[in-house]
């Protein structure tokens, strides 16, 4: 068995700077006394492992991963954005932390509309101060650390400061993102100087980037705590940059930032077969959607049907349709609208929903149901494709699991950069249309409100109540499906962490069904058509999941095999 700590720390020391060690999708395995980390970038994974090796808790290590990802995966997440952290103790006690961004206090439902009251092109909203929410990750980290940290707050910043100051190499994935999303990535002079050459081209793969501004930001947060972010010069710099880029009254103010609060919330839990599943509740739709999909499938014997049977995945598609129909209507920020979370997971309600699923034939149309406690039924608006987010998971020596999804929403967020990090465009996760078909949308913009998310950080316990899995994903609206698919792989098919993430991806987008290119599903078009799925698209899947999974007495760690830039481990 490979000792992850010895290998990781030795490679850091030898390298002197952080090269892009080719990430392996395959499992790394660690016994419980040492703990284990899964992250999309191996340099961030090493940051978490280093904190565990020092005696840090899973919460400590997860915070260190979040900070390190700000450096090495700036396209996806960071301290300029927000996230959700689900923490499950060995004895089954689960709590969650909500670090979702908030809209400025003065924002109104017509926030994104142009002078004529129309919804502008999506990217126009993204690349503007209008899209920036008050960042939540540092407040989340401070709150979670105060409750569950073991190491000093300042120690958590060590690996990220080293990565930013000593430098890290641009990997193929980041290089591609810098080219593809130049309008946002290269928007500020600060970012152009960091990541582009004098001709405006992304620096080549392998270039060493030293982000001294970010190292200094981290140092001020390490010594000054959360207040060094939410007050003083840093808060002023963020408010000034966002206001200068916001074309209408109501822009983010210093007070918006100073007033930000991360929230500890109750976990949303249910049981699937003999396992207990706990996820994040609103303002993300992810936890409810994942659990609805699983519970609607429970009456089917997926294990007997098998992972290579189109009927298995047809049932999954149908369950997706039903869960997403409810999601569109009911899910939003519970601090602003009433969300019938218990009703949506009510066994009787879900039995009725599941009865709509036929193994022989696709539903013509999936409509939202009326769960117990539903007081509103409001349609949602637009749902764009999204490409920024990172999921990571940690288990520590006490067998506490932490599942944390962190995001700046789209690639490089809003494109605004202050202090070496990008500011999010999370507010485009609101419905930009406040009214649809004559009804107010639950997920409309309101001052101080958190936009609806799809992020689905989840922890799972086995039938004996032992920690079993910490899982989640990136990929916008695909996140709940990706997460549920990995859980089905682990629970129904008994797969390893890596095999569960490797399962082919399929998702129903309304009538249309995406089957993942390059997998056996490609050859199953006829079988899916025979089950009533007429509108099939075969294409690559924009997904990026991560998981820790207990098998025997060992934790398996895996990152999505679809991540670009892999080469074989030596
Ligand atoms: N902002 C999205 C959410 O909170 C995630 C974005 C992505 O993964 O591309 O659901």
Take atom 3 of ligand 1 and give the residue whose Cα is closest: 453
Contact call for residues 444 and 438 (beta carbons, < 8 A) = no
pLDDT in tens, 267-322: 999 999 999 999 999 999 999 999 999 999 999 999 999 999 999 999 999 999 99
Which helix (DSSP H) or strand (DSSP E) does residue 349 occupy? helix 347-354
Which segment of 3-12, 67-76, 229-238, 515-524 scores lowest on mean pLDDT? 3-12
Q: CB burial class (10 A; 0-12, 13-18, 19+) of residue 108?
A: middle
For residue 29, name the pLDDT band (cuts at 50, 70, 90): low
DSSP 373: T
- The minimum-distance atom of ligand 1 relative to the CA of 409 is 1
For residue 14, name the pLDDT band (cuts at 50, 70, 90): very low
Q: What is the pLDDT of residue 372?
A: 87
Q: What is the pLDDT of residue 116?
A: 94
pLDDT surpasses 90 at 16: no
Contact call for residues 334 and 450 (beta carbons, < 8 A) = no
Percent of the chain beyond pLDDT 70? 91
Mean pLDDT, the chain, rounded, equals 90
pLDDT surpasses 70 at 10: no
Per the annotation, binding residues for L-glutamate are: 100, 429, 453-454, 476
Best residue for ligand 1 mutational test, from 126, 284, 454 (most atoms within 8 Å of Cβ):
454
Q: From ligand 1's centre to the CA of 304, what distance in Å? A: 34
pLDDT in tens, 370-419: 888 876 434 333 333 336 799 999 999 999 999 999 999 999 999 999 99
Indicate the pairing of strand 512-516 with strand 536-539.
parallel
Q: What is the pLDDT of residue 384?
A: 33
**CA distances to 190, 214, 420, 480, 509 from 512, in Å:** 42, 43, 41, 17, 5
Contact call for residues 268 and 278 (beta carbons, < 8 A) = yes
Taking CB atoms within 8 Å and a gap of at least 24, the contacts of 358-363 are: 358/318, 359/300, 359/311, 359/314, 359/315, 360/531, 361/531, 361/532, 362/314, 362/317, 362/318, 362/531, 362/532, 362/533, 363/318, 363/321, 363/322
Q: CB burial class (10 A; 0-12, 13-18, 19+) of residue 216?
A: middle
Q: State the greatest distance between any 2 C-alpha atoms of the chain, in Å, as a whole number.
A: 64
Q: Who lines ligand 1 at CB under 6 A? A: 386-389, 407, 409, 426, 429, 453-455, 474-476
Catalytic option among 19, 28, 217, 389 = 389
**CA distances to 71, 86, 88, 546 from 95, in Å:** 28, 6, 7, 20
Q: From ligand 1's centre to the CA of 102, what distance in Å? A: 15
pLDDT in tens, 146-184: 999 999 999 999 999 999 999 999 999 999 999 999 999
- The minimum-distance atom of ligand 1 relative to the CA of 544 is 8
- The minimum-distance atom of ligand 1 relative to the CA of 454 is 10
Indicate the pairing of strand 458-461 with strand 467-474.
antiparallel
Listed residue (245, 315, 274, 283) closest to 468, CA to CA:
274
Q: What is the pLDDT of residue 563?
A: 77
Take atom 5 of ligand 1 and give the residue whose Cα is closest: 476
When pLDDT is averaged across residues 245-255 and rounded to a whole number, the result is 95
Q: From ligand 1's centre to the CA of 263, what distance in Å? A: 19
pLDDT in tens, 64-90: 999 999 999 999 999 999 999 999 999
Q: What is the pLDDT of residue 387?
A: 61
Best residue for ligand 1 mutational test, from 85, 407, 563 (most atoms within 8 Å of Cβ):
407
Q: From ligand 1's centre to the CA of 455, what distance in Å? A: 6
pLDDT in tens, 431-469: 999 998 888 898 999 999 999 999 999 999 999 999 999
Structure tokens given for 534: 């007429």
pLDDT surpasses 70 at 6: no
Q: What is the spatial distance between Cα 217 and Cα 422, in angstroms, rounded to a whole number?
A: 12
- The minimum-distance atom of ligand 1 relative to the CA of 451 is 4
DSSP 127: S
- The minimum-distance atom of ligand 1 relative to the CA of 474 is 8
Dihedral angle sign, alpha carbons of residues 346, 352, 356, 359: positive
| Other CB atoms within 10 Å distance of the CB of residue 570 | 6
When pLDDT is averaged across residues 9-24 and rounded to a whole number, the result is 45
Phi/psi region, residue 53 (left: phi>0; alpha: psi -120 to 50; beta: rest), is alpha
pLDDT in tens, 518-554: 999 999 999 999 999 999 999 988 789 999 999 988 8
Q: What is the spatial distance between Cα 431 and Cα 329, in angstroms, rounded to a whole number?
A: 12
pLDDT surpasses 70 at 244: yes
Residues 1-6+31-363+383-505+541-570, CATH architecture: 4-Layer Sandwich (3.60)
**In the 3-class helix/strand/coil scheme, how is 458-499 assigned residue by residue?**
EEEECCCCCEEEEEEEECHHHHHHHHHHHHHHHHCCCCCHHH
Per the annotation, binding residues are: 100, 429, 453-454, 476
pLDDT surpasses 90 at 34: no
pLDDT surpasses 70 at 7: no
Best residue for ligand 1 mutational test, from 136, 287, 387, 409 (most atoms within 8 Å of Cβ):
409
Q: What is the spatial distance between Cα 418 and Cα 242, in angstroms, rounded to a whole number?
A: 10
**CA distances to 103, 108, 134, 201 from 259, in Å:** 12, 18, 9, 39
Q: Quick check: helix, strand or coil at residue 269? A: strand
C-alpha neighbours within 13 Å on the C-beta side of residue 349? 19
For residue 511, name the pLDDT band (cuts at 50, 70, 90): confident
Q: From ligand 1's centre to the CA of 198, what distance in Å? A: 32
Q: From ligand 1's centre to the CA of 54, what distance in Å? A: 32
Best residue for ligand 1 mutational test, from 383, 476, 545 (most atoms within 8 Å of Cβ):
476
Take atom 7 of ligand 1 and give the residue whose Cα is closest: 476
Task: Based on the residue annotation, tell me whether 389 is a catalytic residue of this protein.
Answer: yes
Q: From ligand 1's centre to the CA of 423, what distance in Å? A: 14
Take atom 1 of ligand 1 and give the residue whose Cα is closest: 409
């Amino acid at each position: 068995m490979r000792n992850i700590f010895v290998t990781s720390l030795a490679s850091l020391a030898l390298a002197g700077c952080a090269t892009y060690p080719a990430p392996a999708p395959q499992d790394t395995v660690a016994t419980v006394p040492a703990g284990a980390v899964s992250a999309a970038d191996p340099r961030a994974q090493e940051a978490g492992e280093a904190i565990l090796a020092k005696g840090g808790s899973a919460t400590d290590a997860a915070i260190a991963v979040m900070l390190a990802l700000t450096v090495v995966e700036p396209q996806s997440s960071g301290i300029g954005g927000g996230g959700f952290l689900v923490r499950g103790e060995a004895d089954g006690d689960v709590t969650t932390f909500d670090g979702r961004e908030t809209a400025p206090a003065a924002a109104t439902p017509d926030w994104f509309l142009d002078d004529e009251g129309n919804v502008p092109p999506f990217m126009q909203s993204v690349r503007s101060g209008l899209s920036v929410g008050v960042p939540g990750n540092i407040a989340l980290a401070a709150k979670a650390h105060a409750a569950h940290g073991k190491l000093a707050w300042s120690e958590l910043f060590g690996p990220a400061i080293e990565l930013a100051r000593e430098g890290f190499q641009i990997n193929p994935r980041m290089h591609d993102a810098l080219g593809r999303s130049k309008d946002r990535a290269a928007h500020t002079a600060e970012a152009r100087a960091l990541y582009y050459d004098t001709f405006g081209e992304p620096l080549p793969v392998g270039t060493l980037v030293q982000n001294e501004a970010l190292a200094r930001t981290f140092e001020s947060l390490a010594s000054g705590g959360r207040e060094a972010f939410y007050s003083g010069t840093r808060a002023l710099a963020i408010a000034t940059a966002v206001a200068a880029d916001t074309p209408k009254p109501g822009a983010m103010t210093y007070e918006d930032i100073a007033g930000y609060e991360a929230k500890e919330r109750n976990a949303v839990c249910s049981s699937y077969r003999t396992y207990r599943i706990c996820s994040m509740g609103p303002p993300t739709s992810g936890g409810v959607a994942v659990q609805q999909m699983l519970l609607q499938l429970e009456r089917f014997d997926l294990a007997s049907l098998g992972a290579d049977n189109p009927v298995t995945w047809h049932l999954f598609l149908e369950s997706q349709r039903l869960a997403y129909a409810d999601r569109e209507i009911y899910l939003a920020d519970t601090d602003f609208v009433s969300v019938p979370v218990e009703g949506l997971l009510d066994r009787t309600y879900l039995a009725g929903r599941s009865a709509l699923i036929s193994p022989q034939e696709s539903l013509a149309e999936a409509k939202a149901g009326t769960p117990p406690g539903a007081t509103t039924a409001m349609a949602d608006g637009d749902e764009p494709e999204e490409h920024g987010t990172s999921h990571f998971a940690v288990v520590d020596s006490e067998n506490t699991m932490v599942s944390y999804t962190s995001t700046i929403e789209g690639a490089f967020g809003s494109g605004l950069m202050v202090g070496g990090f990008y500011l999010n465009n999370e507010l485009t996760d609101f419905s930009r249309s406040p009214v649809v078909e004559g009804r107010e949308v639950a997920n409309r913009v309101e001052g101080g409100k958190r936009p609806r998310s799809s992020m689905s950080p989840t922890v799972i316990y086995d039938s004996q109540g032992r920690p079993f899995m910490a899982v989640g994903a990136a990929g916008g609206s695909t996140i709940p499906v990706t997460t549920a698919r990995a859980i089905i792989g682990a629970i129904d098919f008994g797969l390893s962490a890596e095999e569960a993430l490797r399962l082919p991806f399929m998702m129903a987008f309304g009538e249309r069904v995406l089957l993942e290119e390059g997998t056996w599903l490609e050859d199953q078009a006829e079988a899916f058509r025979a089950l009533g799925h007429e509108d099939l698209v075969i294409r690559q899947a924009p997904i990026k999941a991560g998981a820790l999974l207990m098998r025997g007495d060992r934790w398996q760690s895996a990152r999505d095999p679809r991540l670009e830039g892999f080469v074989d481990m030596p």
